[in-house]
Amino acid sequence: MKCPVYSTSLAFPDHPAIEEGKHIITYQELHQLITRCVSGLEQWGLHSGHYVGISLPPTIKTIALMFGLLRLGIVIFPVNPKFPKPSRHTFFENISCKIVLDKVSDIPFLFTKTSQNDVSPHQHATAILTSGTTESKIAIHTLNNHISSAINSQENIPVEPGDKWLMSLPLFHVSGLSILFRCILHGATIVIPTEKEPIISSLHNHSITHVSMVSTQLNRLLTSSPFVIPPTLKAILCGGGPIEPSQMSTALEKGLPLFQTYGMTEMSSQITTTLPNTTDFSHCGKCLPNIHIRFSGNKEILVKGPTLFSGYFKNGHVTLPLDVNGFFQTGDRGYFNPEGNLVILGRNDRMFISGGENIFPENIESQILLLKGVISCHITPEKDIEFGLRPVADIKILPKVNVSLLENQVENIFPKHSRPVLNMTTTTSHGSI
């Protein structure tokens, strides 16, 4: 098949593809930039099947790099540039990246008269972390997974040329990647906000029509002052974990065009999404096209469909854990209400979500237990106004442990979203002192 950017550049050559500050690039210009990037990457000896790590901010050049890699059949592994450097190194080493790019200025662009416009829809395309610890699983997706997800999203939340979707979520999450594909497939504009621009300002300054948010961002929007809804705004897609009913009620009272979704990395973003003009957010809507849900005996949600990922990368292999009927076990529990909408009950395991990020307590505990002088560690979620839930670590340490050093070590290991609040108690091997 042809690269989606190439196809859209033929259909809408002069339509704006990406807006970054005052710099606007058309679909034809984006295609040309990707072509130059492909030539540069080929000079580095990269070829199909290689993994390339990127730890870059969202920019026009970053997006061009990503589609240049896709055209060469190279798997993109985006990692949060704000992660501690040792953690990033561990991620890239675990997946055997051929190269790692952490500076936009290092992206190669060469002039060329030839153009590689084909992509392989069923070849591995992206590797995405399912959480923010070094023990995180790495989910592998095909290009077809991402494209199927974008087509599904169009069912409830259509986008078209002239629309603008704010890049409000990071490219190292499936939720951020999905914004790229939704816009590119349908000729809409991807808008990259400035780093510290309040979301309410971004919506107004760029005449945004669509935006994706996790609960933390929705809360910031609702508490903005002054609060004025941009007249251009058509849809706010809310997901990334539970959203407080009070938040949704406030948003409805303010007249926001809300859509609530249930999704996950392993299903390339949305699984179910509410319909336009929904006012009841006790559920997450119905299944999107070609997505199938079943429930196990204990009400665990089981899913399958064309958006289902290829599997987890581990020890050089990609393995897809499915049940005997070919369904993936989500770890979430739920049921369909009488109208066929999905209601989420909670988790089967200890995982919880903080500011839209998956937090696996066992992963945090195992890393803290490796630190010198730590006897035990237990992570629990604690309610937080901004993030919904935050991890709290109850730690028992030996008497002569340097507490400041331990705090610094924890700060260097964990990115901000998964860094636990530390409650430390001095103990001997036999009990507290």
DSSP string for residues in 231-278: TT--EEEE-SS---HHHHHHHHHTT--EEEEEEEGGGTEEEEEPPTT-
* Shared-domain flag, residues 368 and 267: no
Residue 431's pLDDT is 43
Same structural domain for residues 74 and 97?
yes
- Indicate whether 282 and 360 sit together in one domain: no
- The pTM of this model reads 0.86
Strand, coil or helix: 13: coil
Query: Which of 296, 331, 347 is a domain's end point?
Result: 347
Number of residues in the chain:
433
- Record the tokens describing residue 36, joined without a space: 């130059």
pLDDT of residue 73: 96
pLDDT in tens, the chain (433 residues): 999 999 999 999 999 999 999 999 999 999 999 999 999 999 999 989 999 999 999 999 999 999 999 999 999 999 999 888 888 999 999 999 999 999 999 999 998 877 889 999 999 999 999 976 667 899 999 999 999 999 999 999 999 999 999 999 999 999 999 999 999 999 999 999 998 899 999 999 999 999 999 988 999 999 998 889 999 999 999 998 878 888 888 999 999 999 999 999 999 999 999 999 999 999 999 999 999 999 999 899 999 999 999 999 999 999 999 999 999 999 999 999 999 999 999 888 888 888 888 888 888 998 898 899 998 899 999 988 778 889 999 999 999 899 999 999 999 888 887 899 999 999 765 443 3
| Alpha-carbon dihedral angle through residues 177, 181, 182, 184, given to the nearest 10 degrees | 130
Q: Are residues 208 and 251 in the same domain?
A: yes
| Same-domain status, 341 and 364 | no
Question: Are residue 280 and residue 394 in the same domain, yes or no?
Answer: no
* Of the candidates 167, 138, 170, the residue with the CA atom closest to the CA atom of residue 51: 138
Of the candidates 329, 347, 365, which is a domain's last residue? 347
Same domain assignment for residues 107 and 140: yes
Q: Show which of 316, 347, 378 is a domain's final residue.
A: 347
Domain harbouring 368, CATH code = 3.30.300.30
CA dihedral in degrees (140, 295, 344, 236; nearest 10)?
Answer: 50
If asked whether residues 133 and 255 sit together in one domain, one would say: yes
Please report the pLDDT score of residue 340 as a whole number.
Answer: 96
DSSP state of 324: T
Same domain, 334 and 361: no
Same domain, 183 and 123: yes
Number of domains the chain contains: 2
- 46 and 172, same structural domain? yes
Please check whether residues 332 and 407 belong to one and the same domain: no
**Beta partners for 431?**
428
Residue range of the domain that includes 269 = 4-347
Check which CATH number belongs to the domain holding 108 and give it. Answer: 3.40.50.12780
